[in-house]
């Protein structure tokens, strides 16, 4: 362990605490923009089909999360979903992402994150974001910039824009290239052990396991720096 020149943050349940996902609520908001709905499908019926396709793809299967290292951008998924169901919308794919996401899982900064980012800025430690996420990159950046006005993130890498998902080393290598730093100069902080901790470690970065916003139990691991709040990490850096 050595003091980092940059800290890379995961998004969901690390940088931002999101409300538990409600796909029906998100789909209902999108369907308000339907100009055709051949079968008069309800939000529940559309979301049931979405869940079926996701299950076939093992897209959000916790057990397969670390094995799915190629990203399926949401615009491809929803494009197929609505077209196959005979539903036409009067909004763009990016607007579908924004409307669905805002309703299905709104978020807020994890407790203490804003203060921790200010601390890092004062200490001269650079920051950026690298996250497994299916929503359009422009939508992801808009949300982060809205939740953290005046932030100092040098870049935001949503995997929806760059093909590979964590824990694949290529996505970490891309972040290092953008930062123009060596792996040993960068810490990666995330809430998922397989994707974030093991992924970062295998790419040569120093991993930090943030557990403060997770709403599900994860097994203990003694081989990693684990924290439950940002004050712990601040104290360590000090």
Per-residue H/E/C for the chain:
CCCCCEEEECCECCCEEECCCCHHHHHHHHHCCEEEECCCCCHHHHHHHHHHHHHHHCCCCHHHCCCCCECCCHHHHHHHHHHHCCEEECCCHHHHHHHHHHHHCCEEECCCHHHHHHHHHHHCCEEEEEECCCCCHHHHHHHHHHHCCCCCEEEEEEHHHCCECCCCHHHHHHHHHHHCCCHHHEEEEECCHHHHHHHHHHCCCEEEEECCCCCCCCCCCCCCEEECCHHHHHHHHC
143-155: average pLDDT: 98
Contacts (Cβ under 8 Å, ≥6 apart) of 133: 11, 12, 140, 158, 159, 160
86, 104, 122 - which closes a domain: 104
Both 111 and 100 in a single domain?
A: no
* Residue environment code for 140-163, b if the CB has 16+ CB neighbours within 10 A, otherwise e: bbebbeebbeebebeebbbbbeee
Backbone angles phi, psi at 214, to 5 degrees: -70, 135
Instruction: Answer yes or no: is 146 within a domain.
Output: yes
Instruction: Answer yes or no: is 1 within a domain.
Output: no
Both 124 and 29 in a single domain?
A: no
Q: What's the domain range around 95? A: 23-104
Instruction: Answer yes or no: is 60 within a domain.
Output: yes
Name the residue with tokens 């990203």.
Answer: 71
Instruction: Answer yes or no: is 39 within a domain.
Output: yes
Both 117 and 95 in a single domain?
A: no
Both 128 and 199 in a single domain?
A: yes
221-227: average pLDDT: 91
104, 121, 153 - which closes a domain: 104
Rounded distance between C-alpha atoms, residue 21 and residue 160, angstroms: 19
pLDDT at 6 over 90: yes
Instruction: Answer yes or no: is 223 within a domain.
Output: yes
Rounded distance between C-alpha atoms, residue 228 and residue 212, angstroms: 4
pLDDT at 221 over 90: no
Both 226 and 143 in a single domain?
A: yes
State the pLDDT at residue 215: 67
Mean pLDDT over the full length of the chain? 96
104, 119, 151 - which closes a domain: 104
State the pLDDT at residue 216: 65
State the pLDDT at residue 194: 94
Both 29 and 90 in a single domain?
A: yes
Both 153 and 220 in a single domain?
A: yes
Both 92 and 34 in a single domain?
A: yes
Both 208 and 230 in a single domain?
A: yes
Q: In this structure, are residues 65 and 218 in contact, taking their beta carbons and an 8 Å threshold?
A: no
Rounded distance between C-alpha atoms, residue 152 and residue 117, angstroms: 8
123-147: average pLDDT: 98
Instruction: Answer yes or no: is 10 within a domain.
Output: yes
Both 32 and 137 in a single domain?
A: no
State the pLDDT at residue 220: 78
Q: pLDDT digit string (tens) for 94-119?
A: 999 999 999 999 999 999 999 999 99
pTM (two decimals): 0.95
Q: pLDDT digit string (tens) for 182-220?
A: 999 999 999 999 999 999 999 999 999 999 987 666 777
Instruction: Answer yes or no: is 52 within a domain.
Output: yes
Specify the number of domains making up the chain: 2
Instruction: Answer yes or no: is 77 within a domain.
Output: yes
Degrees, nearest 5: CA angle 10-13-16 = 80
Both 48 and 151 in a single domain?
A: no
State the pLDDT at residue 233: 98
**Six token digits for residue 26:** 């998100």
Residue 173 is part of a domain; what is its CATH number?
Answer: 3.40.50.1000
Chain-centre distance for alpha carbon 188: 14
State the pLDDT at residue 95: 98
Q: In this structure, are residues 42 and 85 in contact, taking their beta carbons and an 8 Å threshold?
A: no
The better pLDDT of the pair 159, 58 is held by: 159
State the pLDDT at residue 64: 83
Both 60 and 150 in a single domain?
A: no
């Amino acid at each position: 362990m050595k003091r980092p020149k940059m800290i890379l943050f995961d998004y969901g349940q690390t940088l931002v605490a999101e409300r538990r996902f409600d796909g029906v609520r998100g789909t209902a908001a999108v369907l308000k923009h339907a100009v055709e709905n051949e079968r008069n499908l309800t939000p529940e019926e559309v979301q049931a089909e979405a869940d079926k396709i996701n299950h076939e793809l093992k897209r959000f299967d916790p057990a397969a999360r670390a094995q799915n290292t190629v990203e399926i951008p949401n615009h491809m998924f929803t494009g197929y979903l609505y077209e196959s169901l005979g539903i036409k919308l009067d909004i763009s794919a990016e607007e579908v992402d924004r409307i669905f996401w805002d309703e299905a899982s709104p978020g807020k900064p994890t407790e203490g994150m804003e203060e921790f980012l200010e601390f890092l800025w004062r200490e001269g430690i650079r920051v950026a974001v690298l996250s497994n996420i299916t929503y359009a990159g422009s939508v992801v950046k808009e949300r982060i910039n809205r939740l953290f006005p005046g932030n100092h993130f040098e870049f935001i890498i949503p995997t929806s824009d760059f093909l590979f998902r964590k824990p694949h080393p290529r996505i970490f290598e891309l972040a290092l290239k953008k930062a123009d730093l060596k792996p040993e100069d960068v810490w990666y902080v995330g809430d998922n052990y397989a994707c974030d901790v093991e992924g970062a470690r295998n790419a040569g970065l120093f991993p930090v396991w943030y557990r403060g916003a997770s709403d599900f139990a994860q097994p203990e691991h003694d081989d990693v720096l684990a924290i439950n709040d940002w004050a712990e990490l601040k104290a360590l850096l000090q």
